[in-house]
Amino acid sequence: MRSKLGFYKWYFMLTLLLFAIEFVIGADFHDTIIRPYGGDFLVVILIYCFIKSFVNAPPVTTAVAVLILSYVVEISQYFHLVTVLGLQHSRLAKILLGTSFSFVDILAYTLGIITLLIVEHLKNSLKNF
């Protein structure tokens, strides 16, 4: 199946909902579970839904691309990319790129993508049922 550009309202609505949830987590949660792990779990799903809002690409292809992007961002934190780029005083750069590497974040991204692929598979199975 080839990728097709367009506007896919369902994914866009999910993007807005997930963005709102991420915003609430970032602003209001100061715990040791939801903020550090729930946010990372959901952010890959958010990025996936945003991409799928405009590109009708196969779920696995899109999910793997999002996971690779997430891994690259996390690995860039290990090498302190924000500081290397001279953006250590930019709050936006620190939010988008992060500042501290964690293997647990990589696990959260991976679990988010696995969950997403299971849901996509179930959705497609029910549609074809």
List pLDDT tens digits, range 46-93.
Answer: 999 999 999 999 999 999 999 999 999 999 999 999 999 999 999 888
Q: What does pTM read for this prediction?
A: 0.90
Q: Would you place residue 35 in the very low, low, confident or very high pLDDT band (cuts 50, 70, 90)?
A: confident
Q: Could you give the angle at the alpha carbon of 55 between the alpha carbons of 54 and 56, nearest 5°?
A: 125
* Angle, CA 48 vertex, CA 47 and CA 53 arms, to 5°: 95
